[in-house]
Amino acid sequence: MGNILICGADVITLDVDGAVLRGADVAICDGLIAAVGAVPDDFQPDEIIEAHHHIIMPGLYNAHMHSGTVLGRAVGGSRASDPWFDLRVTKDAQVNHAIRSPMTPEAAYWAASLAAAEMIRGGVVGFMDQYFYMDQVARVVLESGLRANLAWCTFGDEGGEIGGDVAAIAAFTESWRGAGKGRIQTSFGPHSPYMCSPQFLARTAAVAARLGVDIHLRLAESREQVELSLLAYDMTPVQVLDQNGVLDLPVVAANVAYLSDFDLDILLARGVRIVACPKAQAAAGLAVSPMSLFHAAGIDLALGTDGAGLAGSLDMFEVFRSAASHLSEDEQAAGLALGLATWGGARVLGFANCGRLAPEHAADLLMIDCHRPHLWPVRDPLGTVLHSVRAGDVTDVMVAGQWLLRKGQLLTIDEERVLAETVRRVKVR
């Protein structure tokens, strides 16, 4: 991997002190940040990169998405390519559509490749996927150089299991956990307490506990989900999870929006991590997760796009700006939203030494070429990122010291082939 020295950039560290360094150097050694700012005299670089006019910052994390939905990008009100596009439809309708889903292992591979290419170009270094055929997504993670936490989604009730059986998914979690030199983490992915019976949730929790893996699901996304849960079980969705052993495990819950005070106390006591997808939630006509409340309560919080069928893209710059608008209108909220898209996502996904540019942290970073009209001049690097940078301004992306994108060129993905293979698998005009 060697030593890399990046010189003369504006560096947004997002470290604990929140330092922004102008015209600074970043030294990288064997996949880790060796120094930021003052580089030791004895540091011997194998590669020197001049980065004047560039901003360097930690890479972004998409903490809740569904890779396969890129094949149904921006489908509007249609559920043709997204089994759970409309979060307000009934359970039976969603399960029946999941049975009819045209997704195949081969399609899942190329969809994940397309999603990976889009995310890398948008500065994403890691993602948490909850969808089908996660073994195919894992192949893409290995090839692309990204980090990922992969949860094979299942729907389960007395009628059986849809999406995959628990035994096969258990084998997947065991065989892929820690692959790619630790770049791949695995989780169990029961869709939600409104799409899975209490018995299925309890069984999933028991197997996950035996294997020592986390659970990633959707929770309390709509008022209807809460009301239906109360009618069926005399419990809220949070209570259903708690009573069936799910919250005895580390849990990542996405799109949490409708909670009672009692529910919030349970999530706090159980250490549940939450992912908000503000752009997708708003697009679905649902309440956006109360991020300010969760942050003030000390809950680990991250951001995600949700599925591209609803969100339209996997653009995390759009997501953290949407999050900032829901947190508050001051500049501090915008900075917090950026943190939730970087170190917040890394923490929720389980990558402890990622998400900040600081010594001994992973060399996961992005570079932005600011020598272009809508970014120039750069009077305030942080303000430029918070308000002006677009996903397409990212020119370079590195994960664990490996370049995935260099001077605008994808290095680990054959982009032209991915574009050709994916268009063969969807009907387009």
Domain edges within the chain: 3-58+361-410, 60-349
Burial 192-210 (b: 16+ CB within 10 A, else e): bbbbbbbebbbbbbbebee
282: exposed, middle or buried (Cβ count in 10 Å: 0-12, 13-18, 19+):
middle
User: Roughly how many angstroms between the first and final C-alpha of the chain, as a whole number?
Assistant: 45
Task: Take residue 145 and report the two structure tokens written for it.
Answer: 């150089």
Quote the pLDDT of residue 296. Answer: 92
* Same fold across 3-58+361-410 and 60-349: no
Nearest alpha carbon to residue 198 among 244, 249, 266: 244
How do 184-190 and 147-157 pair as beta strands?
Answer: parallel
- Per-residue pLDDT of 259-309, as tens digits, reads 999 999 999 999 999 999 999 999 888 999 999 999 999 999 999 999 998
Q: What does the buried/exposed string (b/e) look like for 78-96 if buried means 16 or more CB atoms within 10 Å of the residue's CB?
A: ebbbbbbbbbeeebeebbe
253 contact partners, CB below 8 Å, separation of at least 6:
217, 218, 219, 220, 267, 272, 273, 274, 275
For 160, other C-beta atoms within 10 Å of its C-beta total: 10
Distance CA 109, CA 223 (A): 35
Question: How crowded is residue 102: how many other Cβ atoms within 10 Å of its Cβ?
Answer: 12
Positions in the chain short of pLDDT 70 = 1, 74-102, 157-164, 329-331, 427-429
- Which amino acid is residue 384, in one-letter code? T
Closest CA to 114 of 130, 137, 85: 137
Peptide bond into 377 cis (omega under 30): yes
Class for the domain spanning 60-349? alpha beta
**Model pTM score:** 0.93
Radius of gyration of the chain (CA): 21
In the numeric block, which tokens belong to residue 332?
A: 């501090």
Rounded Cα–Cα distance for residues 203 and 208 (Å): 9
CB 304, CB 65: distance < 8 Å: yes
CA 263 to CA 85: how far, in whole Å? Answer: 26
Whole-number pLDDT of residue 161: 58
pLDDT of residue 328: 72
- Burial classification of residue 12, based on how many CB atoms lie within 10 Å of its CB (0-12 exposed, 13-18 middle, 19 or more buried): buried
**Residue 119, both tokens:** 């995310």
Residue 404 CB contacts under 8 Å (≥ 6 apart), including other chains: 120, 125, 144, 145, 146, 397, 398, 410, 411, 412
CA 225 to chain centre: 24
| Contact by Cβ (8 Å): 272, 247 | yes
Q: How far is CA 379 from the centre of its chain?
A: 30
Q: Model confidence over 324-369: pLDDT tens digits?
A: 988 875 567 788 999 999 999 999 999 999 999 999 999 999 999 9
**Burial zone of 243 (CB within 10 Å; 0-12 exposed, 13-18 middle, 19+ buried):** middle
**CATH of region 3-58+361-410:** 2.30.40.10
Q: No. of H helices and E strands in the chain? A: 17, 18
Q: What Å distances lie between residue 374 and 9, 122, 351, 385, CA to CA?
A: 18, 17, 34, 12
